[in-house]
Amino acid sequence: MEILAFGVQADEQPLIERAFAGRAEVRCLDVFLNADTAPVAAGHEIVSTSVNADLGAGVLEILGAGGTRMVAQRSTGFNNVDLETAERLGLTVARVSSYSPYSVAEFAWALAMAVNRRIVRASNRTRDFDFRLDGLMGRDLHGRTAGVLGTGRIGEAFARIAHGFGMRLLGWDVTENPACLDLGMRYVAKEELLADSDLITLHVPLMPETRHLIDARALKAMRDDAILVNSSRGGLVDTAALVGELRAGRFTGVGLDVYEAEAGLFFLDKSLTAVEDDTLARLVTFPNVLVTSHQAYYTVDAVGQIVDATVKNVQDYRAGRRSENVLVPRS
């Protein structure tokens, strides 16, 4: 049996091939799964996909007609999957329910520090041998307040970093995390967290209830000199509203590793083509905004755990076993 893996990055491929060695044949493709590429999967019972794969009804129909019976997604989020269609077609769908929380938390902190201390601007200047300090003044984060929206494993890891820097901690979640309480975190309403935090970081999943969690109203509730970081899912932030606030000169910095319309852009080289997304094109022009291409998870530790979990998901499927990673069970 050959497993077809879509959207495989060059750094990821040897990890995948090594993990499946002796267990199954795997063919890695650098193209992402969508309606145009789905026919390539014909004859493959198992397909593995990346975070930005299109697993909507149309793509699943193509996969099912071609003989695919399992989709093993190499990511935690599954807002891109039409689970009802998968169940109707008898497709087993599995995800990676968890991996190193430190990869994302550390990267979120790196974004916060980079925009606070103007690292990108400073680096660009020194490349031109411009060593002035004008416009590079940041702030101590020690003694200031970090607001953590979503205090699961990643939110907790971020809170530990912020606590180590001597920050006060505010949290918002449906369930309080005892480990965060032990750090001195105080759980408050979202509105209070937005109004009282110097640094706001998002670590909640994207669901209908959380889409545009940071909307125009939430943005206006934030301090003018706040720092906003999103390393979770792009749809949590109303980007058009964010651009409006940035045009008004608000916020010390914004660090975004995700973007709500990133599919078809992120993980691809668009440097020689015109980007038609006017919102993104405007967003990256602001000097206090840093956009990266959904790389927070991209450490050898996290990717290794993702690949290992994917291998286990495939083994469980072939053995008829179920686990916490299965979103749609084998029919």
Catalytically active residues, by annotation:
233, 262, 294
Cβ neighbours, 10 Å, residue 289: 20
Strand partners, 255: 229, 290
Rama region for 234: left / alpha / beta (φ>0; ψ in -120 to 50; rest): alpha
- Largest pairwise CA distance in the chain: 65
The radius of gyration computed from the CA coordinates of the chain, to the nearest angstrom, equals 21
Q: Which of 325, 329, 317, 330 is nearest to 95 (CA)?
A: 325
Question: C-alpha angle 200/204/210, rounded to 5°?
Answer: 100
Helices (H), 143-238: 153-164, 178-182, 190-196, 216-221
Chain mean position to CA 320: 30
